[in-house]
Amino acid sequence: MLDTARFTTFVAAELSVPVGAVRTLTLGSHGDTMVPVPSRCTVTVDGEDKPLTDLLPAERIEALVERTRGGGAEVVALLKTGSAYYAPSAAAARMARAVAEDSGAVMPVCAWVDGEYGISNVYLGVEAELGREGVRRVVQSELAADELAALRAAAEAVRAKQADVEDL
């Protein structure tokens, strides 16, 4: 949710629109293997949801994707000491509210993936429906081929990190 919020903010600033007019998504993991998903980005313009690709050229979208991947480092550099804590707190509050209210809200979270996107046996950033029992189900959506490949690469990177700590 944190990375999705950053992506949303960067797109809104680029287009000079309110943050509430932008819908973005990031999947995968935090950092270099993060998968911002431009194919799922829309911006409400004059009451109509328009794909991001209709509003910005590919090179500007790629620049926003790269800025999103480096967003955590950007925040830390601006703060000089410490790390980001407002946005993670807000994300945690939204997730807790979805659980407490048993709302079924769908949001990007780290969840156990077992077959979705052709990926199994790893915790990964995906969209999931949240309710009283926590993650009710992973919500799989259509991704562009390059986005799917990047998500699978992120899963392998997470799996490799899991293997590194397995014997600790």
The pTM for the full model equals 0.86
Q: What whole-number distance in Å separates Cα of residue 15 and Cα of residue 6?
A: 14
> Catalytic residue numbers?
30
Q: Which residues contact 22 (CB under 8 A, 6 or more apart)?
A: 8, 11, 12, 15, 41, 42, 43, 44
Domain locations in the chain as residue ranges: 2-165
Choose the CATH number for 2-165 among 3.40.50.300, 3.90.110.10, 3.30.1280.10, 3.30.565.10: 3.90.110.10
Q: What are phi and psi of 112, to 5 degrees?
A: -70, 125
What pLDDT is attached to residue 83? 63
Stretches in the chain below the pLDDT threshold 50: none
Q: Which of 8, 23, 29, 4 is nearest to 150 (CA)?
A: 29
What pLDDT is attached to residue 1? 83
Q: Are 126 and 150 in contact (CB under 8 A)?
A: no
Q: What are phi and psi of 31, to 5 degrees?
A: 105, -145
Q: What whole-number distance in Å separates Cα of residue 11 and Cα of residue 3?
A: 12
What pLDDT is attached to residue 84? 64
DSSP 40-86: G-EEEETTEEEEHHHHS-HHHHHHHHHHHHTHHHHHHHHHSSS---H
Q: What is the pLDDT of residues 24-67, one digit of tens each?
A: 999 998 888 999 999 999 999 999 999 999 999 999 999 999 99
